[in-house]
């Protein structure tokens, strides 16, 4: 405790310098007795107030200095204890889809389009404060590099390995990257999020396919970061020369700004062309922060420690000194003491003078005191929400049934679903959709309950069919019993499959070899004429040699993430059955 003691605001301790000078000045000047000096002759003053003037003066200065010292220490913030506090994080998701087609090797922007794109993604990760991020690489097919994660370091570690030669097939299909992004959102439980396409252009067929996907997924916003220039540039090859088309002409892909802007508008996102500074990514990140999507926050599994400030407790000690400043008004401190000991009921009555019942209940609701809030609320909607949080869904329905609003029908559907009254809940969601056909949550919950009811009906029908089929006749039962008796007469070795017998024999053989090895080790471990120091030296030498062998073996393990990604993409590509060759494989 003592070693952790410090001040949160130590600059306040500098006040001691002018405060000490002021007290010294007051002590020397004797200002405390000048009122009597103005009306009493100095020759008589020493006889009338002998010893009392100096005593009162010193007492007042001591009390003033002590009170000022306590006030300065309280303002400096003394602390020596920490309190854990939960850390909240923003519930947002961003999927970055990077174009890794051959056109990204063009060098119209130096050193290449793909290199600059990787650098921009690194800047986005460093400047994005909160939320989860995923990375997709796509050409003619799209592959997940990293799923949605908070670990930006993993994405940064894999970015340098993304090159055009690791893709199993070439082309440009941004629509397949969108499909992969929607799958990542669904698997992670996100119903809304942002998608950033980092590409040098889209074909008309890509735009047509992406328009259909955007219409089916309106809750996900798509922004575009254009990489390249309108003039374009050739695509250099590894063995020299430039990439050519089927007719032998050098391919010079340009960046179609109109198509990129069109796609960003269709996705309710923003378009930015690559720039030398951070203006491009700042525009995209600012648009994501001012999203039309609802901002949510959840408590993470981490916590942070905050210092518990002890300075306010010194204020209580200052109260008597403040009362003494009134000299004879010391009794004024009594109301403060009474206020500190007021019962809770009187405190509530005092609060009722300034807040109505709904305002007080809202504070209780925000503090998590849902039961007290349910009893305090007058508004039936909030009253129902409080009972819902308590877990009393029947009582919540009583208050929501008093309202005919869209939110009341939706909340009533949720409560009915909690009570397993699925059909009534579906009816409530239908009432919501009658008032607002665009209510996506109601439509989503309604579809879930309908699927659950259908699944229950299918299970019941299968169970009935199973019960009917499991009623064999007496002759079938006798035949089955005869077969069972014959089966019992078989030997255990015959009843076992051949594979199982082979595995058992192999296991027995391994056990025998292991036993022989252990016996040899035990014979070799007998000391005989060898002393203990020699044995220890040999053991340490063996350990050193084994460590060296292990180190050499570890060095042989390939640690190139590019090769790992290349094999991973090829494996996934083969499992998908391959893809037709693109008309423009760049």
Q: Residues 112-166: pLDDT tens digits?
A: 999 999 999 999 999 987 789 999 999 999 999 999 988 888 899 899 999 998 9
**Distance of alpha carbon 548 from alpha carbon 61, whole angstroms:** 77
Most confident of 68-77, 252-261, 454-463, 478-487: 252-261
Structure tokens at 361: 């209940």
For a pLDDT cut of 70, what percent of the chain falls above it? 66
- Residue 498 has a pLDDT of 36
- Residue 506 has a pLDDT of 38
Q: How confident is the model at residue 227 (pLDDT cuts 50, 70, 90)?
A: very high
Does residue 76 form part of some domain?
yes
Answer yes or no: do 103 and 229 share one domain: yes
Beta strands 268-273; 220-226: pairing state: parallel
Q: What is the mean pLDDT of residues 200-213?
A: 90
Which position has the token pair 């078989």? 490
Answer yes or no: do 76 and 120 share one domain: no
Higher pLDDT, 565 or 322: 565
- Reply yes or no on whether the pLDDT at 24 is more than 70: yes
Structural domain for 332, as ranges: 1-84+308-341
- Reply yes or no on whether the pLDDT at 293 is more than 70: no
Answer yes or no: do 359 and 250 share one domain: no
Higher pLDDT, 470 or 245: 245
- Residue 244 has a pLDDT of 87
- Quick check: 269 and 222 in contact, CB under 8 A? yes
Q: What is the mean pLDDT of residues 488-506?
A: 36
Q: Specify the DSSP element, H or E, that contains 555.
A: helix 532-555
Q: Write the DSSP symbol of residue 581.
A: P
Tally of structural domains, the chain: 3
Structure tokens at 446: 């309604």
- For 218, list phi and psi in degrees, rounded to 5: -75, -15
Does residue 143 form part of some domain?
yes
Residue 537, Cα to own-chain centre: how many angstroms? 53
Q: What is the mean pLDDT of residues 303-308?
A: 60
Q: How confident is the model at residue 467 (pLDDT cuts 50, 70, 90)?
A: low
- Reply yes or no on whether the pLDDT at 2 is more than 90: no
* Lowest mean pLDDT segment, chosen from 36-40, 302-306, 509-513: 509-513
Q: What is the mean pLDDT of residues 387-395?
A: 89
Beta strands 132-138; 142-149: pairing state: antiparallel
Structure tokens at 317: 């000690």
CA dihedral in degrees (425, 431, 435, 438; nearest 10)?
40
- Quick check: 112 and 350 in contact, CB under 8 A? no
Higher pLDDT, 353 or 516: 353
- Residue 472 has a pLDDT of 47
Which position has the token pair 């000048």? 34
For a pLDDT cut of 90, what percent of the chain falls above it? 21
Answer yes or no: do 119 and 262 share one domain: yes
Q: Cβ-count burial of 310 within 10 angstroms (0-12 exposed, 13-18 middle, 19+ buried)?
A: middle
The average confidence (pLDDT) of the chain is: 74
Q: What is the mean pLDDT of residues 429-457?
A: 85
**Distance of alpha carbon 41 from alpha carbon 60, whole angstroms:** 24
* Lowest mean pLDDT segment, chosen from 11-15, 183-187, 385-389, 455-459: 455-459
Long-range contact set of residues 238-245: C-beta below 8 Å, sequence gap at least 24: 238/165, 243/102, 243/586, 245/584
Answer yes or no: do 277 and 139 share one domain: yes
Structure tokens at 110: 């130096």
304: which strand partners? 85
Answer yes or no: do 250 and 176 share one domain: yes
Q: Is the peptide bond before 383 cis (omega within 30 degrees of 0)?
A: no
- Torsional class of 577: left (φ above 0), alpha (ψ -120 to 50), beta (otherwise): left
Helix 16-29 to helix 52-76 angle, to the nearest 10 degrees? 170
| pLDDT single digits (tens) 162-198 | 999 899 988 889 999 999 999 999 998 888 899 999 9
Does residue 559 form part of some domain?
no
Does residue 491 form part of some domain?
no
Most confident of 294-308, 333-347, 493-507: 294-308
Does residue 260 form part of some domain?
yes
- Residue 29 has a pLDDT of 65
Q: What is the mean pLDDT of residues 580-584?
A: 67
Beta strands per DSSP E along 464-517: none
Model pTM score: 0.47
Does residue 482 form part of some domain?
no
Structure tokens at 262: 């069109």
- Reply yes or no on whether the pLDDT at 291 is more than 70: no
Higher pLDDT, 428 or 523: 428
- For 547, list phi and psi in degrees, rounded to 5: -65, -40
- Residue 162 has a pLDDT of 92
- Residue 499 has a pLDDT of 34
Higher pLDDT, 567 or 466: 567
Answer yes or no: do 79 and 160 share one domain: no
Q: What is the mean pLDDT of residues 253-265?
A: 91
Does residue 124 form part of some domain?
yes
Higher pLDDT, 404 or 340: 404
226: which strand partners? 199, 273
Q: What is the CATH number of the domain that holds 428?
A: 1.25.40.10
Q: How confident is the model at residue 407 (pLDDT cuts 50, 70, 90)?
A: confident
- Reply yes or no on whether the pLDDT at 222 is more than 90: yes
- Quick check: 136 and 142 in contact, CB under 8 A? yes
Q: What is the mean pLDDT of residues 420-439?
A: 88
Q: What is the mean pLDDT of residues 537-547?
A: 49
**Distance of alpha carbon 338 from alpha carbon 324, whole angstroms:** 18
Q: Which of 261, 295, 329 is the last residue of a domain?
A: 295
- Residue 134 has a pLDDT of 95
Answer yes or no: do 323 and 447 share one domain: no
Q: What is the mean pLDDT of residues 539-546?
A: 49
Answer yes or no: do 262 and 162 share one domain: yes
Q: Which of 432, 458, 484 is the last residue of a domain?
A: 458
Q: Among residues 282, 280, 279, 301, which one has the least CA distance to residue 290?
A: 282
- Residue 83 has a pLDDT of 65
* Lowest mean pLDDT segment, chosen from 100-109, 254-263, 540-549: 540-549
Q: How confident is the model at residue 367 (pLDDT cuts 50, 70, 90)?
A: confident
Q: How confident is the model at residue 490 (pLDDT cuts 50, 70, 90)?
A: very low
Answer yes or no: do 52 and 103 share one domain: no
Answer yes or no: do 219 and 364 share one domain: no
Answer yes or no: do 185 and 221 share one domain: yes
Does residue 335 form part of some domain?
yes
Half-sphere exposure at residue 568, Cβ-oriented, CA atoms within 13 angstroms: 14
- Reply yes or no on whether the pLDDT at 553 is more than 80: no
Higher pLDDT, 385 or 337: 385
What is the end-to-end Cα distance of the chain in Å, rounded?
A: 66
- Residue 541 has a pLDDT of 44
Question: CA-based diameter of the chain, in Å?
Answer: 138
- Quick check: 137 and 159 in contact, CB under 8 A? no
């Amino acid at each position: 405790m003592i070693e952790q003691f410090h001040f949160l605001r130590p600059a306040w301790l500098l006040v001691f310098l002018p405060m000490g000078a002021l007290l010294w000045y007051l002590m020397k000047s004797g200002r405390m007795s000048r009122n009597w000096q103005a009306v009493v002759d100095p020759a008589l003053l020493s006889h009338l107030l002998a010893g009392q003037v100096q005593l009162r003066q010193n007492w007042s200065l001591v009390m003033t200095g002590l009170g000022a010292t306590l006030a300065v220490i309280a303002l400096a913030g003394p602390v020596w204890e920490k309190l854990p506090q939960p850390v909240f994080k923003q519930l947002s998701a961003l999927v970055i889809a990077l174009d890794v087609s051959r056109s990204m090797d063009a060098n119209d922007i130096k050193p290449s389009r793909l290199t600059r794109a990787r650098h921009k993604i690194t800047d986005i990760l460093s400047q994005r404060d909160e939320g989860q991020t995923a990375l997709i690489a796509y050409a003619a097919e799209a592959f997940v590099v990293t799923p949605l994660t908070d670990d930006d370091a993993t994405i940064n570690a894999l970015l340098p390995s993304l090159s055009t030669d690791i893709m199993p097939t070439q082309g440009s299909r941004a629509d397949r990257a969108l499909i992969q992004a929607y799958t990542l959102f669904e698997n992670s439980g996100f119903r809304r999020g942002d998608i950033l396409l980092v590409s040098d252009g889209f074909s008309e067929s890509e735009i047509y396919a992406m328009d259909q996907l955007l219409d089916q997924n309106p809750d996900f916003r798509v922004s575009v970061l254009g990489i390249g220039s309108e003039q374009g540039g050739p695509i250099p090859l590894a063995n020299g020369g430039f990439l050519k088309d089927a007719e032998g002409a050098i391919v010079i892909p340009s960046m179609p700004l109109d198509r990129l802007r069109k796609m960003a508008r269709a996705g309710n996102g923003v378009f930015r062309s690559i720039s030398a500074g951070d203006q491009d990514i700042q525009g995209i990140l600012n648009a994501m922060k001012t999203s039309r999507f609802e901002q949510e926050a959840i408590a993470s599994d981490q916590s942070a420690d905050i210092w518990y400030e002890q300075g306010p407790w010194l204020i209580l000690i200052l109260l008597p000194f403040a009362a003494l400043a009134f000299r004879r008004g010391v009794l004024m401190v009594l109301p403060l003491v009474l206020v500190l000991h007021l019962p809770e009921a009187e405190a509530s009555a005092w609060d009722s003078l300034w807040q109505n019942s709904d305002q007080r209940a809202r504070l209780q609701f925000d503090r998590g005191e849902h039961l007290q809030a349910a009893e305090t609320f007058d508004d039936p909607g909030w009253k129902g929400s409080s009972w819902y949080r308590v877990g009393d869904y029947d009582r919540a329905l009583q208050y929501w049934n008093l309202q005919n609003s869209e939110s009341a029908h939706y909340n009533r559907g949720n409560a009915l679903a909690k009570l397993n009254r699925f059909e009534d809940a579906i009816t409530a969601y239908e009432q919501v959709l009658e008032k607002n056909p665009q209510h996506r949550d109601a439509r989503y919950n309604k579809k879930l309950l309908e699927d659950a009811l259908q699944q229950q009906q299918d299970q019941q029908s299968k169970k009935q069919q199973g019960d009917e089929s499991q009623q064999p006749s007496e002759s079938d039962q006798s035949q089955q019993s005869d077969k069972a008796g014959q089966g019992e007469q078989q030997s255990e070795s015959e009843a076992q499959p051949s594979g199982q017998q082979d595995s058992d024999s192999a296991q027995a053989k391994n056990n025998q070899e292991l036993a022989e090895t252990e016996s040899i080790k035990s014979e070799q471990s007998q000391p005989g004429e060898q002393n203990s120091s020699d044995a220890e030296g040999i053991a340490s030498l063996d350990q050193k040699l084994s460590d060296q062998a292990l180190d050499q073996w570890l060095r042989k393990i390939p640690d190139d993430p590019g090769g790992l990604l290349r094999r991973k993409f090829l494996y996934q590509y083969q499992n998908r059955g391959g893809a037709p060759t693109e008309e423009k494989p760049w």
